[in-house]
Amino acid sequence: MTAALRFDPIRLPEKCEQLRKEVRAFLADEIAAGTFDPHKPNREDTDAPEFSRRVGAKGWLGMTWPKKYGGQERSFLERYVVTEEMRVANAPTRRFFVADRQSGPVLLKYAPEHIKMEILPRICRGEICFAIGMSEPNSGSDLFAAKTRATKTDGGYLINGTKIWTSSAHIADYMIAIFRTSQPTKENRRHGLTQFLVKMKQPGIKVNPIGQITGQYEFNEVVFTDHFIPDDHVLGEVDGAWKQATSELAYERSGPERFLETYYVLTELVRAVGPNPDTRSAEGIGRLVAQLHTMRRMSVSVAGMLEAGKEPVVEASIVKDIGTVWEQQLPHRVRDLAAFVEETATNRETLERQLDFAIKTAPKLTIQGGTTEVLRGIIARGLGLR
């Protein structure tokens, strides 16, 4: 049983370290050019289309995909390095990140060939943005409860209903969504959901903004009224999306983005404390760094499992559970320690501004990508408890 919970201490190969240098140099140039401020995670310009194209031009989008679709056929571990360096630098990845991590792999697996040839190279070039349409009003983690209907019509489907909590729908070119194509059966409650590729900015789709408590605007409500989707935009099996959607969630769960979202406050705390910390600050920093290091070792290990073609569902859930709890607690622990930072610390204002934003960000971290409760259910199943 515990055999499933071993995280082998794999190390990133040398070619990853070379790539890391390239990414750092690229980001340093972007920062110098004023594309973004690494000290401002709460910037308003998180939708940075030109930056996306430059990242695409570097070959850092769709890195693991086949070359015929614009990919680079590089390893998951190389992609891992790019992701973590972007995250640590607070780079504006909003426009391309979902497509790169999640939507692209779904299309690779389930889309018809002509759609792959049309869309995947554009993702790789950083030209298009994706949203994910899973949650609905009254159905978040409970995907079975999704009600938005796709009704068969000539040459396609008509969509009616509402998706909600849809990040980036207001800037997205496409959405991969699940809709109800038939009712669940008595034998299979999971039956009747189908995955579709939705072209946004078309008739019958209305995107309504939902403000967040951070003051940012990222979530949306997406209302479908007789929106037409052609037959060749069905992804995978009609009525069989349940398994597709759950395997898609595995992409969401163990990457560096799952423990680094509030990392910046730790860097600024170290800066504010200075080179000769008092005992209390030193101990606080040491504990946080030990936890960060452990999280990262686990996350890298899962990336190694993915690279080896394994399906580390339980391991990824553990990384996300521990990782999001950690990134949620981090701003509060840093706040505790920052209470004793000298008033004269040069970055005091930056630290306070970051803490304000991170503390407001924290409540969502254990919800997105599967709530902590759902993840613990998955882990419990892995332990043979259900």
Partner 1 sequence: MAESDNIVVETAEKIFADLADPQTINNDKTNSWQAPLWQALSEAGLPLSWVPDDLGGSGASLADGFALLNAAGRFAVAVPLAETMLAGWLLAQAKITSPDGEMTVLPASPKDRITIDADGALSGRSRGVPFARAAKHFAVLAHGKEGVSIALVDASKARIESGLNVGYDHSDTVTLDKVQPVSIKAAPKGVDQTHLMLMGGVTRSLQIAGALESMLDISVRYSNERVAFEKKISKFQAVQHNLARLAGESAAALAAATSAADAIANAKSFNDEVYLEAASAKIRCAEAAEKGGGIAHQVHGAIGFTMEHILHRYSLRALAWRDDFGSESYWAVELGKLVANRGADELWPLVASR
Binding site for partner 1 (CB under 8 A): 1-3, 5-9, 11, 20, 84-85, 88, 263, 266-268, 270-271, 273-277, 279, 281-287, 289-298, 301, 315, 318, 321-322, 373, 375-377, 379-380, 382-386
What one-letter code names the amino acid at 165?
Answer: W
| Residue among 1 and 213 whose Cβ is closer to partner 1 | 1
Smallest gap from Cβ 268 to partner 1, in A, equals 7
Instruction: Give SS3 for 221.
Output: strand
User: Which is closer to partner 1, CB of 132 or CB of 316?
Assistant: 316
Q: Which is nearer to partner 1, 322 or 358 (CB)?
A: 322
Residue 95's identity, in one-letter code, is R
* Residue 235 or 292 with smaller CB distance to partner 1: 292
Least CB distance to partner 1 at residue 298 (A): 5
Minimum Å distance from CB 323 to partner 1? 10
Q: Which is nearer to partner 1, 25 or 57 (CB)?
A: 25
Kindly state the smallest distance separating residue 76's Cβ from partner 1, in Å: 16
The label of the residue with tokens 């009003």 reads 137
Q: Given phi > 0 = left and psi -120 to 50 = alpha, else beta, which region is 62?
A: left
- Angle (CA) 57 62 128, round 5°: 70
| Residue closer to partner 1, measured from CB, 56 or 323 | 323
Q: How far is the CB of 333 from partner 1 (least distance, A)?
A: 12
Are the beta carbons of 86 and 23 closer than 8 angstroms? yes
Residue among 212 and 294 whose Cβ is closer to partner 1: 294
Q: CA angle at residue 368 from 265 to 62, to 5 degrees? A: 85
- The dihedrals phi and psi of 122, each to the nearest 5 degrees, come to -70, -35
Q: Which residue bears the tokens 């903004």? A: 209
What is the nearest approach in angstroms of partner 1 to the Cβ of residue 302?
A: 10
Smallest separation, CB 209 to partner 1 (Å): 34
The CB-side HSE value for 241 (13 A sphere, CA atoms) comes to: 28
Tell me which residue of 321, 324, 198, 202 sits closest to 261, measured CA to CA. 324
- Give the nearer residue to partner 1 in terms of CB position, either 173 or 321: 321
3-state secondary structure of 274: coil
CB of 367 to partner 1, least distance (A): 16
Mind spelling out the 3-state secondary structure of 36-82?
CCCCCCCCCCCCCHHHHHHHHHCCCCCCCCCHHHCCCCCCHHHHHHH
- DSSP states of 159-209 as a string? EEEEEES-TTTTT-SEEEEEEESSPPPSS-TTTTEEEEEEESSSTTEEEEE
Nearer to partner 1 by Cβ, of 102 and 262: the residue is 262
Of 373, 343, 353, 315, residue with least CA distance to 42: 353
| Contact call for residues 51 and 36 (beta carbons, < 8 A) | yes
Q: Are 207 and 225 in contact (CB under 8 A)?
A: no
- Least distance in Å: CB of 360 to partner 1? 23
Give the whole-angstrom CA distance, residue 209 versus residue 200.
Answer: 15
